[in-house]
Amino acid sequence: MFGMRIFRKWEDLTEALLCGAKGSKIIVTTRKNEVASLVGTLPTYQLHPLSDDDAWSLFKQSAFRNSTRSEPRQDLVEIGNRIVKRCGGVPLALKIIGSQLKSVGENLDGWLYIQNSEIWNLPETKQILRALKVSYHILPSHLKQCFSYCSVFRKGESIQVDTLVQLWMAEGFINAPTASSSKRNENKVLEEDVGRRYVQNLVDSSFFQDEERNKWGEVTSFKMHDLIHDLAQSVVSPVDRTSVSVDNVEQDDIVGARRQQVVFTGEGASTAMQVLGDLMSKIGGDELRVLILSNYFYGSITIRNLSPLTNLKRLRVLILNYILAEELPNSISNLKHLRYLDISHSRIKVLPAAITTLYNLQTLKLNYCSKLVEIPSDITRKLINLRHLELRGTYMSKTPKETSRLRFLQTLPLFTISKESGCNISELGGLHHLRHELEIQNLENVENREAAASANLVKKQRIRELVFKWIRSTHELNQCKDYNDAEVLEGLRPHNSLQGLRIHNFKGAKFPTWLKSDANMLPNLVEIELLSLSNCVHLPAFGSFPNLRALRLDGMWSVKHIGSNFYGDTMQGEREASVLKPPFPSLKLLYMRSLVELEEWAKAPPSTISPSSSLSAFPVLEELTIEYCRNLRTMPTFFPLLRKLSRAAVMPLSHYWEQASSPH
């Protein structure tokens, strides 16, 4: 039965590939001969172990990567050659053990420890697994338990770094230096920071691979090689069982398990629920710490089905994604040890008041619960250990009151300001540890610059991106009134580590001083977006931002001229020709839309120090979009690396080239 289902899936896949051009070829890699015989149209090519020379070359690249010597020490070379031979020419083993030895450096004892490890002599059926176990056993103890925990994920699954660190924290695997609770210390080392270092250590040691990074260069997710996953399962304790499919749940698999991921592979919700019922009758409530129910469809999990889960009184992690239940049972208050609760993508409408009794809860994820309209009003008063509150994709109209009480809070993607008590912008002031992205909405409810400054954004160094939004009704926009947007934005000065800035619906006529690059207040900005800034006449000197890679201007209706000020001081920094930088030295994307009054976009002026300099503006610009700028008459025409040009409702390109070549 299992084989027939796999064969049908293969047939479905091949149908999707029939549209390829004639002569197209696909290479399939597998460790199973039966798979090769099923999919192959040509004789299977068997990959053989690396030759001794190739194996040594790969090992050397990893083990001596940080060496300052032109040639490695001879004694280490001799030990290394013996280790290489024990790896049997398997690239993965060579790379991982080499990476481990890189961290050892030239410590002879460390090299001898790996060479003489008794694990090489274990009767392991797979030589590669024996080699990988050597690498595992030289990990520090804190990394061993963090790595083996990853066996709870399925093979091939993309593992989110933030999620993994939060799960480690829920299990108590991470210890960070603690500061006095009586002191406000926004620079203290947090458990999340330590956890990310653990992840990076395992990436550097090649236990994790295929890492993906966000636009700020931070690792956000990774995968584990199938063999590394096998290693994690082989070293995990027998009581720490991992993923179980509904097709093969057996009594021996789950009794006494402390960590369990249940994957519903059945084709019907009824099958899934029957298995879940059987599972709940078999799992003991005394030891289970982690329960992940993964069905990836809106299965018929109702509040009645959820009730037995609340008997798992030692549970620390509960993940219930994609469920039909519209509410949680009040008996969830039984889960006193729960630290991580994720019910994202569910149809939950309201959270019960009982959830506020989960005093140990650190992470609460309600992302894309599209029917969620309310959470208990006293959640900020009682869940004082909450560090991550995720509400993306919900229709909640306001942020919980008195957010400032959550002094450990780090994840708060959206903060909505209102004039109600406990909902003003000063609630952000004491949240020193906020990180990643923060969107602040309804800034029209902020009274003045002093009130805006009470958010204390200038001290929040872990925030990577800020979004400032003013949201006014049509009636408010039609009223003739003086807006205070300019002074409010002046008070929202961010920390100089900020990398992304978005400003929407700002009605001020001038930009804040902290956005002027000559003050060098935001040297790390990578991305800027200005949307519907209808009263601004002049643009800041964006050309002087050294790291700016993307600039989006949309709906700036009052800008008529983009002049030399736009390019900034091109002679920033050292005043020697050898270090001069052109305007927009890092910009790769420029998007200009609905600048309906724009008539002139001037070329960059020549250097004031070296007029004959060949430095040109936009030296690395790759993508330029100009749309609905109907009045634009002149613009620069030289973009040396431009690859993509998009335009709509502007004059023909030939017009601008003619203007550029005509005498002035």
Mean pLDDT of 273-300: 63
Mean pLDDT of 428-455: 94
Mean pLDDT of 423-435: 93
pLDDT for the residue 379: 92
**Confidence class for position 44, pLDDT limits 50, 70, 90:** confident
Mean pLDDT of 113-128: 69
| DSSP codes joined into one string, 256-310 | T-SEEEEE--SSSHHHHHHHHHHHHHHS-TTT--EEEEE-SS-B---HHHHGGGG
pLDDT for the residue 302: 64
Whether 480 has a pLDDT exceeding 60, the answer reads no
Could you give the C-alpha distances from 478 to 20, 403, 448, 482, in angstroms and in order?
56, 33, 22, 12
Query: In this predicted structure, which of 122-136, 382-396, 558-572, 594-608 has the lowest mean pLDDT?
Result: 122-136
pLDDT for the residue 462: 93
Mean pLDDT of 337-363: 93
**Confidence class for position 658, pLDDT limits 50, 70, 90:** low
Contact 338, 362 (CB under 8 A): no
**Confidence class for position 61, pLDDT limits 50, 70, 90:** confident
Of the candidates 446, 568, 589, the one whose C-alpha atom is nearest the C-alpha of residue 507 is 446
pLDDT for the residue 274: 60
* Residues 15-35: tens digit of each pLDDT: 777 777 777 788 888 777 777
Contact 221, 212 (CB under 8 A): yes
The pair of three-digit structure tokens given for residue 88, joined into one six-digit string:
């049997």
How many residues does the structure list for the chain? Answer: 664
Whether 183 has a pLDDT exceeding 50, the answer reads no
Tell me how far apart the alpha carbons of residues 379 and 403 are, in angstroms, rounded to a whole number.
9
* Residues 370-417: tens digit of each pLDDT: 898 888 988 999 999 999 999 888 888 778 889 999 999 999 999 999
Mean pLDDT of 629-634: 90
Tell me how far apart the alpha carbons of residues 326 and 231 are, in angstroms, rounded to a whole number.
40
Tell me how far apart the alpha carbons of residues 539 and 659 are, in angstroms, rounded to a whole number.
23
pLDDT for the residue 186: 60
Query: In this predicted structure, which of 473-477, 505-509, 600-604, 658-662 has the lowest mean pLDDT?
Result: 658-662
pLDDT for the residue 572: 47
Mean pLDDT of 147-154: 88
Query: In this predicted structure, which of 298-307, 334-343, 479-488 has the lowest mean pLDDT?
Result: 298-307
Contact 424, 451 (CB under 8 A): yes
Tell me how far apart the alpha carbons of residues 549 and 620 are, in angstroms, rounded to a whole number.
9
Mean pLDDT in the chain?
82
Q: At 336, phi and psi to the nearest 5? A: -65, -25
pLDDT for the residue 199: 95
Whether 164 has a pLDDT exceeding 50, the answer reads yes
pLDDT for the residue 324: 77
pLDDT for the residue 663: 53
Mean pLDDT of 426-442: 94
Whether 128 has a pLDDT exceeding 60, the answer reads yes
Contact 480, 515 (CB under 8 A): no
